[in-house]
A and B are shown apart, each in its own frame.
Chain A
C-alpha cells in the first residue's frame, strides 16, 4: 500500500460529485417524486369523491324512479276511471239515440200506415162508387151520396 496523491484526488473528486449531486441531481428527482405523490393522492381522493357522488346520484335516481312509478300508476288509474266514465256516457248516449231512432221509426211507420189506410179508404170509396154506378147503371150524384160513402169508407 503506497499512500499518494490519489487520496487527495479522490477526496476532491468526491467533493465535486457530491456537490453536483446535491445541486443538480437530487432536488429535481425528489421534487418530481413528491409532486407525483401529491398528484396520486389527489387523484385517489377525487376518485373517492366521484364514487360517493355516483352512489348518491344512484340513490337519487332510484327515488325519482319510485316516484315516477307511483305517479304513473296514479295516472293509469285515473285514465282507467276516465275511460270507464266515457264508455258509460257513450253507452247512455247510444241508448238515448237508439230509443229516439226507434221512436221516430215507429212514428213514421204509423204515419205511413195511416196514409195507406186513408188511400185504401178512398180507393174503396171510389171502387164502391163505381160498383154502385154499374149496379144502378146510372150516374149517381156523387155529391148526394158522398156522405154515405164517406161513412162507408170510414167503417172499412
Chain B
C-alpha cells in the first residue's frame, strides 16, 4: 500500500518501474542511480543490476534444471523431472521440425533456451509485486525491478542476438554475395535504379523483425506488471487478492503465449534466413 511508505500512488508506481542502475554519475563517481535523471546522465555505460541479475539467475536456473535432467537422461523409464524436461524437448523438437526445413543443430536448443528462459523471466510477474523489492529494501537496495522482460534492454538483448543469428546464417547459407544481393535486388528486381528502394525495404524488413520481437514481449510484460502494480497501489489490502488472482490467471496465459511467440518467430525468422528467395 502506498500510504504506508508515505508515497503517492504515482510515486509508488514510478518506484516499481525504476531499475537499479549502476553507472558513472555526472560528477565522475560510480554508483547506483537514485532518480530517472541520474539514470539518463549515466548514458550507455551503465547496467541495470536488478533485471540483469534476475535474468542471469533465471537463465542459470533453466540451465541447471535441464542439465540435471540431461545428466540422468536414459532411454529407460524416466522420472518426474526427466518426464517434464523430455516433454518440453519433444514438443520443441517437433515444432522446429515442422517449421524449419534446413539442417541445423543450433535451432532446436536455441528455441528451448528462448522459450524456457523467457517463460521464467515472465513468470517473475506472478510474484506479488512488493515481495522481492521489500526484501531487498531491508538491505538498503533502493530499487528492484524483478521482471527482466519488462526491461527493454533485456528484450532487445535477446532480439538483437536473434538478428545477429539471422544475418550470420543468411551469409553462411547464401554467401556474402547472396546476402547483399538479397538486400540490393529484392523485392523489385535487378536494376541499378531500384537499388535504393530495394535496400530501404529489405533493410527495414530485417530491422523491423527484432524490434517487433523485443517490443511485443516488452509491451505485454510491462502492461501485465503495471496491472499488478496498480492493483497493489489502488486497492485496499483486504480485497487485493481477488483481482490479483484473476489477473494472475489470465496473465499465466499471457506469459506462456509471449514466450511461445518469441520462440516461434525466432524459428521462423531463422528458417527464412536459411532459404534463398
Q: Report yes or no: A10 in contact with B153, Cβ–Cβ below 8 A.
A: yes
Q: Report yes or no: A13 in contact with B55, Cβ–Cβ below 8 A.
A: yes
> Distance (Å) between the CB of B263 and the closest chain A CB?
12
CB within 8 Å for A35 and B75 given contacts A6-B47, A21-B66: yes
Size class of the A contact interface (CB-based, 8 Å): 20 to 34
CB-CB < 8 A to B52: which residues of A?
Answer: 6, 9-10, 13
CB-CB < 8 A to B56: which residues of A?
Answer: 13
Q: Which of A22-30, A101-109, A117-125, A139-147 contacts B (4 or more CB under 8 A)?
A: A22-30
Q: Which of A10-50 contact B (CB under 8 A)?
A: 10-11, 13-15, 17-18, 20-22, 24-33, 35-36, 38-39
Is B46 an interface residue when CB atoms closer than 8 A count as contact? yes
> Distance (Å) between the CB of A68 and the closest chain B CB?
45
CB-CB < 8 A to B108: which residues of A?
Answer: 26, 30
The residue in chain A whose Cβ has the minimal distance to the Cβ of B40 is A2
Residue of A6, A7, A22, A27 near B110 (CB, 8 A) is: A22
Is B131 an interface residue when CB atoms closer than 8 A count as contact? no
Q: Which of A108-132 contact B (CB under 8 A)?
A: none
Is B117 an interface residue when CB atoms closer than 8 A count as contact? yes
Q: Report yes or no: B66 in contact with A4, Cβ–Cβ below 8 A.
A: no
Which applies to chain A's interface (DSSP): helix, strand, loop or mixed?
A: helix
Is A8 an interface residue when CB atoms closer than 8 A count as contact? yes
Q: Report yes or no: B62 in contact with A17, Cβ–Cβ below 8 A.
A: yes
Residue of A4, A14, A29 near B85 (CB, 8 A) is: A29
Q: Report yes or no: A29 in contact with B63, Cβ–Cβ below 8 A.
A: no
**Highest count of chain B CB atoms <10 Å: which of A15, A29, A35, A36:** A29
Size class of the B contact interface (CB-based, 8 Å): 35 or more
Is A5 an interface residue when CB atoms closer than 8 A count as contact? yes
Residue of A4, A11, A20 near B48 (CB, 8 A) is: A4
The residue in chain A whose Cβ has the minimal distance to the Cβ of B39 is A2
> Distance (Å) between the CB of A15 and the closest chain B CB?
7
Q: Report yes or no: A4 in contact with B70, Cβ–Cβ below 8 A.
A: no
Is A136 an interface residue when CB atoms closer than 8 A count as contact? no
CB-CB < 8 A to A1: which residues of B?
Answer: 152
> Distance (Å) between the CB of A13 and the closest chain B CB?
5
Is B106 an interface residue when CB atoms closer than 8 A count as contact? yes
CB-CB < 8 A to A18: which residues of B?
Answer: 106, 109-110, 113
Residue of B44, B63, B161 near A4 (CB, 8 A) is: B44
Q: Report yes or no: A6 in contact with B161, Cβ–Cβ below 8 A.
A: no
> Distance (Å) between the CB of B72 and the closest chain A CB?
9
Alpha-carbon separation in the docked complex, A133 to B69 (Å): 147
CB-CB < 8 A to B51: which residues of A?
Answer: 6
